[in-house]
Amino acid sequence: MTTPPDNRAVSALFRVFGGEEPRVSGEASEIPKVRGMNLAEYRVLAVLLPLTLLVAIAHPLAGWLGTIAGWVAALPLTVIALNVLPFLLGMKSRQLQWLVSFLASVAWAVFHLRASGVTAFFAWFWAGVALIDLAAVGVLAWQSSMRWQGRGGIVWRLTVLVAVHAAAVVVGWK
């Protein structure tokens, strides 16, 4: 019997910080070929991605049509966008869906960091997620590199050791 890989998350953020989920009985004997989603990750993304898309659509519409008319017009447009975008972008796997949605949300956030109100909240939220996800990718890369065996692994560890000590010496001399 084999155990499920990691914690089933598709994003580095939830693979590192998501915690373990309870084992599913069918999964204990047969591991699916496609990675699923961590339950917490699924819940967070199921709420925040549609809300971010709603804000991204409503913000310009509210400026153009007025606040109430813009937000009312944004609701059906958001539903349409949520149903059409996966087909237009050709997202066939959850990893690709996460990557495209994440990059689009972060790109949108970068351009709206100076906004105010709800738009600023979601922009700063995605900027924070990007920083935490970058840290999680670093943790996963470090974890993977520490599994290297043989001469390459030894050289890598010594390089890291020398680099850390050299940085400490440089900082200490200032």
Q: How far, in Å, CA of 91 to CA of 94, rounded? A: 8
* Cβ proximity of 119 and 59 under 8 Å: yes
Domain ranges of the chain: 12-146
Tokens of 108: 């949108």
Q: How far, in Å, CA of 102 to CA of 111, rounded? A: 14
Q: Which amino acid is at 43?
A: R
- In the chain the first and final C-alpha atoms are separated, in Å, by 56
Report pLDDT digits (tens) over 72-130. 999 999 999 988 887 887 777 777 877 888 888 999 999 999 988 888 999 999 999 99
Only one residue has tokens 């990893």, namely 95
Q: Which residues contact 1 (CB under 8 A, 6 or more apart)?
A: 28, 29
Only one residue has tokens 């999964």, namely 27
| pTM over the 0.85 mark | no
Report pLDDT digits (tens) over 34-69. 566 677 777 888 888 899 999 999 989 988 999 899
For residue 37, give the nearest of 46, 28, 29 by alpha carbon: 46
